Amino acid sequence: MIHCNLVASLLLLSLSVSGTTNRSELQCVQMIRVPRNTVFRARVMTELKINCTITQHGCHRSPQVSWCKIYGNHCKALNLSNYIETEWKEMTEHKGMAFLTFLKLSMEDAGLYRCKEGDNSVSHVINVTVTGDMNTSPKNDLQWVWPYVYICTGIAGLVLVMAVTLLYAVRRQGRKSTGKDMACKNQCIKTQKSDLLLPPHLCLNSDLLTSVIYRV
């Protein structure tokens, strides 16, 4: 009789605990928050950390977070390795953040990922984009410079052409002025020669003559 009463008490206690646990689990609400069209971009062989935020209310356990990568219609669970790590950080009493860290990105790491909590809650797709290898990435990073180089080169060429044109015009103008001066000087010399009254025995060298004054 005592044995039967003990068994019945243990049964009632287990049912009571089970009912409390079930009610607690029913009150636990967890939500994964990842914005649509989320994209993470990094170069190969660098570290990249992606994340998803999880909010929970009425829960008495830590979130059971896992990550998977999409292949076709299936999201295959990730196997942790020396190059992939997961981390959970509590931000507030009702919110935390799950991280997936790629320690050394490779081209094979590019793709679509999801964050999961348990078996029911799944996040939106997270797009991981991996840019080219380390040897070509610096060139790609400098592609935006080339349009400015072309513009500056064009401006410098235009300024050079304008400077050469101006110099040529100044020199040509100087030559014209010199020619006019020489013509005027020659004309003055001829005029002076024609106006001179020279004795018959006096012969002048036209190359040395600048002015002669004859007095009677």
Residues in Cβ contact with 36 at an 8 Å cutoff, skipping those fewer than 6 apart: 124
Query: For the segment 4-22, what is each residue's pLDDT rounded down to a tens digit?
Result: 454 455 544 454 434 434 4
Tokens standing for 176?
């014209």
Pairwise CA distance, residues 36 & 107, whole Å: 23
Question: What's the pLDDT score for residue 17?
Answer: 39
- Please say whether the dihedral angle defined by the alpha carbons of residues 132, 138, 141 and 145, taken in this order, is positive or negative: negative
Q: What is the dihedral of CA 20, 21, 22, 23, to 10 degrees?
A: 50
Does residue 105 lie in a domain region? yes
More confident residue, 201 or 107: 107
Ranked by mean pLDDT, the top range of 6-15, 112-121, 199-208 is: 112-121
- Rounded to an integer, the average pLDDT of 70-81 is 90
For the chain, the domain total comes to: 1
pTM of the model: 0.51
| Confidence bin at 112 (pLDDT 50/70/90) | very high
* 46 in any annotated domain: yes
Phi, psi of 121 (to 5 degrees): -85, 130
Say which residues have a Cβ less than 8 Å from residue 137's Cβ, sequence separation at least 6. Answer: 43, 44, 131
Task: Kindly tell me the sign of the dihedral angle through the C-alpha atoms of 19, 21, 22, 28.
Answer: positive
Q: Is residue 131 part of a domain?
A: yes
Asked if the structure places residue 174 within a domain, the reply is no
Q: Does 121 map to a domain? A: yes
The pLDDT score that the predictor gives to residue 143 is: 67
Residue 212 falls inside a structural domain: no
CATH number, domain containing residue 58 = 2.60.40.10
Residue 160 reports pLDDT greater than 70: yes
In this structure, are residues 103 and 82 in contact, taking their beta carbons and an 8 Å threshold? yes
Question: Would strands 65-71 and 48-57 be described as parallel, antiparallel, or unpaired?
Answer: unpaired
CB atoms within 10 A of CB 129: 12
Domain that holds residue 67: 28-135
- Residue 210 domain flag: no
Residue 206 lies in a domain: no
Find out whether 23 and 80 touch, Cβ atoms under 8 Å: no
